[in-house]
Every structure is written in structure tokens, then in C-alpha cells.
Amino acid sequence: MDTKHYEVVIVGGGISGAALFYELARYTDAKSICMLEKYEDLATLNSKGTSNSQTIHVGDIETNYTLEKAKITKRTAKMIEKFNLMRGLQDKIMFAHQKMALGVGEKEVEFIKNRYEEFKELFPYLELWDKEKLRELEPKLVYADKEQTKDRPEPILAMGTQSEYTTVDFGAMTKELAKAAQEEEGVTTDIFFNAEVEEIEKIGDKYKLTTTSGSVFTANFVVVNAGAHSLFLAHKMGYGKHMGSLSMAGSFYITNGEYLNGKVYMVQNPKLPFAALHGDPDILCDGKTRFGPTALALLVLERYKGGKSFFQCLKTMNFDGNILKIFWDLIKDSEIRNYVFKNFLFEVPGINKGLFVKDARKIVPSLSTDDIEYAKGFGGVRPQVLNKEEQKLMLGEASINPGDGILFNMTPSPGATSCLGNAERDIKIVAEYLNLKFDEEKFLSELTD
């Protein structure tokens, strides 16, 4: 069997892999790049439009982001916007809706006021919306009944905007990134489907990648952007042994009609490392509102796909006393424990809808069980990386760089929003190692302000 050689091989055809594929083709003088995808198409897992909330996470309404993190996410979110505008994809796969962070009750209202003051310089387009303004913009947030005759009893206040791009079909964007890469001249840009990488070996100054079908590829540099599988492959090579992975699945409920005009995010509980409930108009379901995500620990590396994922998950968890200590520290906190238990019940047929609606009424007080249904087939699995040395959950991206021509990236939310920024970080490592030229000036002029 022929062995195909490339300067760079990218493992994983989700949006992170496609972003690097595009940037290498457009902004470096690499002559041969390859992307290997285990399934029959790009973006079949977490990048798929039904697997995530389709949100461009800028940092303006994400109340668990610090000001410093928001400065970073603002920059990477702008890259998403600029790429789509450059390709003329606005109103096709990228859309503008209103969006807000909603505070409910006196404590959260005060929090929103303070946060607005802290963040308004970084995001000058943000506005504060009181109950009367919300009555005009999102009436279902204000009224306690469907007839809209009486107001909800709690004080409410939101910070938001009506003027920004908020929503992207990240699955479609993955394909656009790959297509744009393959339009570049003077560079080989191959994509192979049904090419699940089983083993990566360092042989001399090259890497040999063997797929489950027996195909063999070699590369001078390898970047593994394969979600939770990145850590699985790293462990196989002896890297990242100080890390384990906890797979968190997110599910959604969907309404039978349009309930919200824009994205409504809740104030995050700082103790919970998982996303707070939010409501989003779904661009793939005719604007029906999707509420979620739930957060459920599952012993799989990927959702809705059978096969070896369960056994791979057990291996990747890398279970020992340190992992047990992390779990114990999480579960001994009553708020986290109750949250975990409640989210488990959100998946149990018969009682799940009624329990979920109680939570979702914080956004839409008049919501009833007849208004929503469990969104079958929606949601994905996000790897939450556990640091065994520090005995804690690592929030945000985790990357393993041994310094010898291979990278392993794990990108939980907001991985899709940060894909072009993460690729920028990786491209500098790849370019330095392979002595490639990175046209940073062109990159900055096209993808940043």
C-alpha cells in the first residue's frame, strides 16, 4: 500500500482542524497539507450545527468570563465574523440576532449592573435593558402568563445588544474553511474521509500515521484536533499522562414555535464549571427556540455514535486516586452535587420535561411542558480535562506540545469560536519547527480589526 507524505497532517475534520487547514494553506508557504477525518464527512460531531448552541462567544454576555478572558474571546470571535464576511456568508450561515445576559432577582440584577459598568468600555455597543425595554424586545421574559396580563414578580435587568453578529452554523463553516483552503493555489490540500487514525509513531524525523483501514500517512508535523480523542491518542504515545478526561454531554429541549427573538443567557453560578441554561433561536429549525444545555457525565468520547467510544473513554479518563480526589471535591459541594443529580434527571423519560421546564421558566415564566420537547439527536460531548498533578478540573482549552513536531489539542466550549485564534497559535509553532514562512501581516489584515 502506498504511503502518502505531507509536510503537515491534521487529525480531525471538525472546525478546529479545518481552521488550521485553512490558515496553513492561505498564510504559510507549506506545500502539502492533509486532513484526516474518521467519518464520511466533515463536522459530524461537536462542530455539527445541532451539537452546539451556534453561538459566537464574544465574552460580552458570557457572565463566567473575566474581563481578561473576554479580551481574548473578543479577538477570536472577530476572526469568525471576518472570515464569514470575507466569503460573503452573512445571512447564509452567519446571522445577527439580539442577545443578552439576563439577571433575575435582586442579587442578579445588581450583578448585571456592576458587570455592565466593568465591560462597557471593552464592548461599547452593550446596553442596559430594564423591564419596560425587555417588554418591547422579549415580551415572554416579562410576563408570568401566556395571555400577557401580569408581570413576573421578580425584578429583572439585562445587558445586551441588537447590532452584532451572534450566530453561526459551525458545521457549515467547517466545510467553508476546508473549501477555502482547497481553493489556494500552489499547495496540495488533501482531505481523506473514513480515515480513523489508530496509531501515530515517531520514526526518525517523521511521523507515521496508520488508520484502522490500514492506510499509512507520513508527515513532518502532526496536529491532533480530535476532541476527546486527542488525549486518547496522546496517551497512546506516552504524552499527557498527568491528564485525564471527563466527558460531559449536553442535551437540549426545543419549543414547538418561536419563543425568543434573540439569545438569552443567564447569570452563571461561579461554582459550576458548566454552561448556565440559555435560550437560542435555532437557525436550523426555522427559528424555534432551543433551551439548554443540560450537563451529563457520560462514559463515551462521542455522542450518537456506537463502537469503541466507551472503552476509549475509560482509558482516557486515566482513573486513579488523583481523579477520584477531583470527583470527590466536585461532588462534596452541595450545589454541584444537586446540579449533577438534577441534570441526570433531565435525561429520564417521564419526569425530565417537567423538571426541565421549572428551570427554563427562569427565562420564560409562562413556559409549560406542552410547549417543549426533548431535542432528539441534539447535543454533543465536550472533554473536560482533569489535571492530576494539580488535582483539579482544567477550564478552557488544553494543549500538549512535547516540542518534537506534534501537538494534541482538546477544545471544550468555546472551541468553535476560538478555532481561528487557536490555529493562529498552532501555526506559529508549526512554522517555526518546519522553517515555514507565516504571512502574519496578511493574516492580521484579513482576520482581525
Task: Please report the DSSP string for 340-379 in residue order.
Answer: HHHHHHTTSTTTHHHHHHHHHTTT-TT--GGGEEE-TT--
**In contact, 161 and 81? CB cutoff 8 Å:** no
Is the pLDDT score of 1 beyond 60? no
Residues 188-222: pLDDT tens digits?
999 999 999 999 999 999 999 999 999 999 999 99
Segment 352-379 shows an average pLDDT of 94
Closest Cα partner for 411 from 9, 78, 19, 138? 19
pLDDT score at 166: 96
Sign for the pseudo-dihedral over CA of 220, 173, 443, 166: negative
pLDDT score at 373: 93
Is the pLDDT score of 412 beyond 80? no
Segment 38-58 shows an average pLDDT of 89
Segment 82-102 shows an average pLDDT of 97
pLDDT score at 306: 65
- Reduced to 3 states (helix: H, G, I; strand: E, B; else coil), residue 57 is coil
Closest Cα partner for 27 from 449, 437, 445, 429? 437
**In contact, 73 and 229? CB cutoff 8 Å:** no
Is the pLDDT score of 46 beyond 60? yes
Q: Residue 427's domain spans which residues?
A: 3-447
Inter-helix orientation angle 228-236/309-317, to 10°: 70
Instruction: Tell me the C-alpha distance between 297 and 246, whole Å.
Output: 7
* Better-scored residue on pLDDT, 49 or 18: 18
Residues 260-317: pLDDT tens digits?
999 999 999 887 767 789 999 999 998 899 999 988 888 888 887 766 778 888 888 8
Q: How many distinct structural domains can be found in the chain? A: 1
Closest Cα partner for 52 from 284, 394, 306? 284
Query: Residue 418 is part of a domain; what is its CATH number?
Result: 3.50.50.60
Closest Cα partner for 246 from 175, 170, 361, 323? 323
**Minimum mean pLDDT among 51-60, 130-139, 178-187, 419-428: which range?**
51-60
All three cell numbers of 421, joined, read: 485564534
**Minimum mean pLDDT among 161-165, 307-311, 442-446: which range?**
307-311
* pTM of the full structure: 0.94
Is the pLDDT score of 407 beyond 90? yes
Instruction: Tell me the C-alpha distance between 300 and 413, whole Å.
Output: 18
Confidence of residue 413 (pLDDT cuts 50, 70, 90): low
pLDDT score at 77: 97
3-state helix, strand, coil in the chain (%, to 5): 35, 25, 40
Closest Cα partner for 230 from 105, 35, 406, 436? 406
Cα distances (angstroms) measured from residue 360 to each of 141, 260, 264, 318, 385: 11, 12, 11, 35, 28
* Better-scored residue on pLDDT, 18 or 384: 18
Query: Does the N-terminal peptide bond of residue 293 adopt cis geometry, omega within 30 degrees of 0?
Result: yes
Is the pLDDT score of 241 beyond 80? yes
Confidence of residue 350 (pLDDT cuts 50, 70, 90): confident
Segment 361-390 shows an average pLDDT of 91
Beta pairing partners, 394: 385
Closest Cα partner for 190 from 159, 161, 214, 215? 215
Instruction: Tell me the C-alpha distance between 399 and 172, whole Å.
Output: 25
Instruction: Tell me the C-alpha distance between 262 and 276, whole Å.
Output: 16
- Reduced to 3 states (helix: H, G, I; strand: E, B; else coil), residue 107 is helix
Segment 149-158 shows an average pLDDT of 97
pLDDT score at 240: 93
pLDDT score at 141: 98
Mean pLDDT of the chain: 93
pLDDT score at 67: 96
Write the CB contacts of 421 (distance below 8 Å, at least 6 apart in sequence).
72, 75, 76, 79
